[in-house]
Structures are given as C-alpha cells and as structure tokens.
Amino acid sequence: MTEPLLEVDDIRLSFKGVRAIDGVSFHVDEGELFAIIGPNGAGKTSIFNTINQVYVPQEGDIRWRGESLMGKRPDHIATLGIARTFQNIELFPHMTVLDNLMLGRHTQMSAGWFAGGLWLGRAKKEELENRSKVEDIIDFLEIESWRKYPVALLPYGIQKRVELGRALAMEPKLLLLDEPVAGMNLEETEDMARFILDIREELGIAMLLVEHDMGLVMDIADRVMVLDFGQKIAEGPPAQVQRNPEVIKAYLGEDFGVVAAGDDETLEASATE
C-alpha cells in the first residue's frame, strides 16, 4: 500500500480555551483531490494553518511523506512542496501579473540577493529559466492578455486565477486551496473548476480544497470530509457524504435534517441559497 502524501493524526488546537480543532484525522494521497466542508467557524481554515504551521496544534501530529511537520517554520513547509492560496486575495496589487508569479518561484532560486541585484552570470541564467516556467503557467491559466497589467487593475476572477498561478509557480506536490471560487459569478466558477481539474489531470498535483460551493465540491472531489464545531462528522465519497444525516443536520438544523436525510439534492441546494 502506498504511503499517503499527507497525514493529519488526531490534532487538537485551542485558543484561550476555545477548541477550534478537536481530534481531527485524515490523509491525502498522491494526485488526490480531497475536500473539507462545513459551516462557518467549523475549523476548515484552521486545518490549513496547522498544515502550514502558522498554528501549532497542542496535540496530535501532521506528517509529510512520513516526516513530522510539527515545529517546522512555515517557509520550510513551502520548500517541502506545500503551497496554498488564500480566501482573501494576498497578491501585491501594484506589481504586474508576471512579477507576482515570479515571486512564487522564490523557492526555486538559489543565486542570492547580491548576484540577483547585479543580474549577472548564474543569477541571470536562473531568472531567465524561471521566467520561462512562469510563462508556461500564464499559458496554462489563460491569462496571457493580462500578464503585464498591475494586479489591482484586474477583474476579481482573474486575480483569483493569478493567485492560483503564484502557488503553481512553486511547483508544489500538494496545493491547499482556501475557497478558490468565493465571490465569483457562475462563469468564473466554472472556469476555476476547469483549471482545478486540469491541475489534477495534467500536472498530477494533489489538492486539499476548502470550499462553501457545495455543487463544485460534489462535482470534482474524490473524497470529502465534513467538520462541525472542530470535529469530523463524516468522511467519504461525495455521494455518500451528501446523504449522511449528521451532515444534513449540521447544515440545516436538527429538525429539518431528519426530514431531508433522504433527499440527495437538499444539502447542495441549501449551500447555494
């Protein structure tokens, strides 16, 4: 049996006595698209922050290819091959699309600041090679016409695409996507879903997806985990999770959940209203 790419083992995270994550365990395999869903405040983004070690759980372990990530610096986590996007866009608004994507290549550059500043020898060769990689990403995400524009001038959906591109520029083995279609219209959402599927099929990158758009999750995820008040209440294939009475109750309330448990479309509809 192949070892999981990422293993999260019984982690617990509290803030001043408030339990944000309560004994959650799961794993992500090579090339898998694993989704985490749950109501607001369920602990979804906190899971991401523990993987990046922005937050360090008080209990449990997180392993990357069998090696514990606990206590490692967030920048070291990035060099291991774990990249992420953010729910709120975290780009440099006055820099161009090309320059924002080049920032994602920092983990691949080793010439140093002095040689880079002079742009001589090894540093010049390294930058040209990395620019070529970035141009491939621009083509992949179909943002050629925006490449020289400052990010602040771009439509919202294109900005989200640029942030995805910056994460891809790191050449990750695992991509953490924090609500990649939040705030998008239907056309933008469909475009982003297509790019996410292309990343899995063409680039073979595993993804951990947090998203409120239930239709998107149920259409593209291989497996789904549901959180409620920091606890895992369900995990499995999308169709199975969607029928789980505990999941329906978490989204719709206990009284309605009993009635709705047999309705496959109820949970998806509630999440899009």
Lowest mean pLDDT segment, chosen from 27-41, 72-86, 123-137, 150-164: 123-137
Band (249; pLDDT cuts 50, 70, 90): confident
pLDDT at 261: 44
Tell me: pLDDT of 257 over 60. no
Mean pLDDT value of segment 214-239 = 93
1-81+174-184+206-273 is classed CATH 3.20.20.100 = no
Strand-pairing partners, residue 98, are: none
**HSE on the CB side for 26, CA within 13 Å?**
25
Q: Do domains 1-81+174-184+206-273 and 90-171 have the same CATH topology?
A: yes
* Interatomic CA distance for residues 246 and 240, integer angstroms: 12
Lowest mean pLDDT segment, chosen from 109-118, 120-129, 222-231: 109-118
End-to-end distance of the chain based on CA atoms, in angstroms?
Answer: 42
> Which residue in 10, 4, 2 sits closest to 66, CA to CA?
4
Can you give the length of the chain in residues?
A: 273
Tell me: pLDDT of 273 over 60. no
Strand-pairing partners, residue 66, are: none
Tell me: pLDDT of 105 over 90. no
Band (121; pLDDT cuts 50, 70, 90): low
pTM comes to 0.86
Superfamily for 90-171? P-loop containing nucleotide triphosphate hydrolases (3.40.50.300)
DSSP code for 234: E
Strand-pairing partners, residue 9, are: 61
Across the chain, mean pLDDT equals: 87
Tell me: pLDDT of 186 over 80. yes
Mean pLDDT value of segment 2-24 = 92
Handedness of CA 199, 205, 211, 216 (dihedral sign): positive
Band (129; pLDDT cuts 50, 70, 90): confident
**Per-domain residue ranges for the chain?**
1-81+174-184+206-273, 90-171
> Which residue in 142, 40, 53, 153 sits closest to 87, CA to CA?
40
pLDDT at 128: 81
Mean pLDDT value of segment 165-192 = 94
* Interatomic CA distance for residues 225 and 233, integer angstroms: 8
